[in-house]
Every structure is written in C-alpha cells, then in structure tokens.
Amino acid sequence: MFRRLRRAKPISLTEQLQLMQADWDKRARKNARYFVSTSRTDWNDQDFFASGERAIAEDILTDTADIYQGKDPAGMRVLEIGCGAGRLTRALSGIFGEIHAVDVSGEMVARARAALHDRPNVTFYQNNGCDLAAVPPLVFDFAYSSNVFQHIPSREVIDTYVREVHRLLRPGALFKFQVEGNPSARDSSPDDTWHGVSFNREQATAMAQRCGFEHRYSFGEGHHYFWLWFFKPPA
C-alpha cells in the first residue's frame, strides 16, 4: 500500500500531513471503495452502502444508551472523522438529525459528496489531517470514527484529534472510536500512511486523561480493531 523505504531523517508533522493527503488522494483515484473497505475490489453502490448499514447497526444501534443518552437521535448533531467515500456517513444520516463529516482526502470527500447528494442533513469538509479547524464551532452530541486512526502513523496527530473532539462535544457526550490495537504495529514508520501506531489500554487511558476525557470502556485490546469509549465529563 504505497510502502516507502524508511527515511534516514525524521519526518516533520507538515510533511506527514502532506503525505497522508497525497496517499489517500491516490488511493481514492485508484479504487476509493476498495481502500475504504478492502474485502472487495468491485463494490457496487448497493453492497457498499449495505456494508455501512451493517457496521452502523453494530456500532451504534447496539449502544444507544451510551450514544443517545435519552435524546431523540433525530435531534442529535454528529461528527464523523475520516468519512472516506461516505459508506458509514450514509447510514449515520438515516439515524441522526445532522452529520458533519471530515476527511483529509479531497478526492474521498468529492466521492462522498456525490454519493450522498440526496442527504441534505450531511455536510462534508476536507481537513488538514490533524485538527477540526475546518468544522464550524458547533456543539456536537456524539463523535465517531471507524477504520481511520488505525492508518495514522503519529500519536501526536491522534492526540490532537482527541483534544479537538473534546473542544466540540457537549459535556457528557461520547467519542466512540477505533484505533490500532495490535502490538506488532507499534513501531510503524512515520511515513507509512497505511499502518498506524498502536495502543494498549494504558496508553489509551493516558491519552483520554491528557485530552480531558474519561476512558470508560474499551473492546478489542491487542487486536486490530481496538474500540474506545471516551466520555467528556459533565459540566
């Protein structure tokens, strides 16, 4: 997946973000839906978005007490980080009132916008791969990210996202997201935009504390899909 020879000198954050954008734009142009979900190379619309519905049924509809917190989802504003070609965004937009979705790749965002032109409750943004300055300073009721941080080769970038989500979430709300949990990925190269840095439970808890969250639950420690439930403390 666009593997590079290891560089002799360390890479700057600016170079790293430029690489993320360039590599994901390249993947989007080559076969966006394959790089979003590698179980197939020839996704048609129906199957691609059905796979998003299944993922959201598993991640959201089985966890409504933590996510809805007694609210009507039709009245909730949701932030999605790393929306890709809109696979999960479409399913989220059928549940929640308002979705704001960001991605570092303008090519991915263009595909997501085109595919979800019939969903007026979704707004897409291309961001810099690190913070949420591209999103207006709204208050969000829930934030979600799946299949994204597993590709980010920098703890600094992931920390920045977690702080940024904390800035935008209302007190008490949940950021549910997935990171790489497989320890063999721990020394991923800083210029590898496919294999991200990995976390164990202690590292995840330390990140939550640094960024102002309570790390209430996790699932999948030691595995590729390591899910984290970070709650912003009540005001």
Ligand X SMILES: C[S@@+](CC[C@H](N)C(=O)[O-])C[C@H]1O[C@@H](n2cnc3c(N)ncnc32)[C@H](O)[C@@H]1O
Write out the residues near ligand X by the rule CB under 6 A: 20, 24, 35-37, 81-84, 87-88, 103-105, 108, 129, 146-148, 151-152, 157
Shortest Å, Cβ 138 to ligand X: 18
CB of 72 to ligand X, least distance (A): 25
Q: Which is nearer to ligand X, 36 or 165 (CB)?
A: 36
Residue number, 73 or 153, with CB nearest to ligand X: 153
Dihedrals phi, psi of 144, to nearest 5 degrees:
-145, 140
Question: Residue 62 or 233: which CB sits closer to ligand X?
Answer: 62
Q: What are the phi and psi torsion angles at 50 (to 5°)?
A: -65, -35
- Least separation, in Å, of the C-beta of 174 and ligand X? 17
Residue 151 CB, shortest distance to ligand X, in Å, is 5
Q: How many C-beta atoms surround the C-beta of residue 192 within 10 A?
A: 19
In sequence order, the 6+-apart residues with CB closer than 8 A to the CB of 175 are 142, 143, 144, 162, 165, 166, 169, 213, 228, 229, 230, 231, 232
Instruction: Select 105 or 218, whichever has its Cβ closest to ligand X.
Output: 105
Q: Do 177 and 149 meet the contact criterion of CB atoms below 8 Å apart?
A: yes
Contact 188, 226 (CB under 8 A): no
Nearest residue (CB) to ligand X, 14 versus 171: 14
What is the closest distance, in whole angstroms, from the C-beta atom of residue 104 to ligand X in the complex? 4
Give the side-chain half-sphere CA count within 13 A for 217: 9
Residue whose beta carbon is closest to ligand X: 84
